[in-house]
Amino acid sequence: MTKKFAITSKGDHKSDALKARMVQYLKDFNMVYDKKTPDIVISVGGDGTFLEAFHTYNHRLAETAFIGVHTGHLGFYADWLPEEIEKLIIEVAKNPFEVVEYPLLDIKIHPVEGDDYQQFLALNEASVKSTDGTVVLDVHIKGSHFERFRGDGLCISTPSGSTAYNKALGGAILHPSLESYQLTEMASINNRVFRTIGSPLILPKHHVCELKPTRVEKNFLITIDHRTNTYNNIKSIECRVADQKIRFARFRSFPFWKRVHDSFISDDR
């Protein structure tokens, strides 16, 4: 069967030139460039570019496998080097590939009135902040009230997103084979009157977490990966591990902990 592919680019000169070369090489191998229904999506740029590719094709996760090529520094999703693309193209065009799946986050924003809700999938995280003062949210876990959070906001991340914003907030790095998600605080208010747990929480797949504003008229900034919107009249923000997963086409071994090491410790031995 002919394989269909799409390539997204960061849009800078280097990424666009690499994309043009890859499109030509893959067509030379009789693969079909199909932006609408690709079997393989190749993102060229950085992890930010990869997030955009994920959101462009997140309606067909079951049919699509992703590959990330980086044109800047090593990424967590964009982990192929520009020098490796000839090898990568031959693998993509000629060989059946193994698929590695990573968990995603399912976010539902429920309004105060009506039953309609907005649903999102996040590859890295969702974060909740406010434009008007302290964020106050009642945190419910598995239907029970856990705490009233007061502070700058909360970050709910996937295991593969745990190396991004979550890490900067003091969260743990989670291996993406763990079907889980993590809740981290942003500058919580803790004194004799107000109290939060203070530690990041790691929740399993079957535990739903709901964040309920105490004042519905308040404006919240909700960011899903790299996209931010303002909301008010929110009844709850429901978070759980998504049923869907992202699928990566795997052609060589590049273990997660090696990527963590090379990104944050050193890329020499």
Tell me which of 54, 225, 240, 242 binds ligand NAP, using CB under 6 A: 225
Residue 132 bears catalytic tag = no
Q: Which of 16, 34, 39, 47 is catalytic?
A: 47
Name which of residues 78 to 137 contact ligand NAP (CB under 6 A).
78, 124-125
Question: Is 48 a known ligand-binding residue?
Answer: yes
Q: Does 48 bind ligand NAP (CB under 6 A)?
A: yes
Residue 72 or 82: the one with the smaller Cβ distance to ligand NAP is 72
CB 138 within 8 A of CB 145: yes
226 binds ligand NAP (CB under 6 A): yes
184 binds ligand NAP per the rule CB under 6 A:
no
Q: Establish whether 164 is an annotated binding residue.
A: no
DSSP run (H or E) holding 14 = helix 13-28
Site string (190-209) toward ligand NAP, x via CB under 6 A? --------------------
Between residues 33 and 264, which has the closer beta carbon with respect to ligand NAP?
264
# binding residues, ligand NAP (CB under 6 A)? 18
Which of 163, 184, 188, 236 binds ligand NAP (CB under 6 A)? It is 163
Q: Which residues are catalytic?
A: 47
Binding residues (CB under 6 A) for ligand NAP: these are 46-48, 51, 72, 75-76, 78, 124-125, 160-161, 163-165, 168, 225-226
